Amino acid sequence: MAAIPAAGAAQAPPAPPPAPDLTAEVAGLRQSVEELVALLRDYRADQQLELLMKRLELAGTQLVPVRQELAKVRGEKDLAAQEVERLETLRETFEQQRGDDEENEERWAMMLEQFEGQLRAAKDKVFALEQRQLTLEAEMAEERQKVDLLEDLIDRELGLR
């Protein structure tokens, strides 16, 4: 007699469903990975903020020598302007004293030429100092813009704006 094969013998048994503890373990791993990603994002944001703070500090220190030089130039310019005023007053006094003294005309002309030379030199110095002051003020404005930009970036990173 021929044996009749069992109905289910030829088919492979169905795969058992994943064990509930494996599903929980995968979910736990997923949560751990998400937490690590969040921590890394926070760390990156902290590092970026720290870098911005250091850049701000550097920009601030770069302003110091420009401020000092600007103060020095302003002081020198004020002194040079006072010298121009002094020389102009002296020239006016000299011209009043000169009068119509034809005997000493050559001497007066030489003295006037000296005054004019000193006055031109003083005016040139004032002009040069004014130009330097303008350059330094532009440099200060540029550096100040950098500082303002960095402050804005930091505020945005901190959520203040």
Q: Where do the domains of the chain lie, and which CATH numbers do they carry?
A: 33-158 (1.10.287)
Alpha helices in the chain (DSSP H): 20-98, 105-158
Q: How far apart are CA 115 and CA 109, in angstroms?
A: 10
Does this model's pTM top 0.75? My answer is: no
Q: Give per-residue pLDDT as tens, 56-88.
A: 888 888 889 999 999 999 999 999 999 999 999
For residue range 117-161, what is the model confidence (pLDDT) as tens digits? 999 999 999 999 999 999 999 999 998 998 888 888 888 887 765
Q: Could you tell me the two tokens for 103?
A: 């005997």
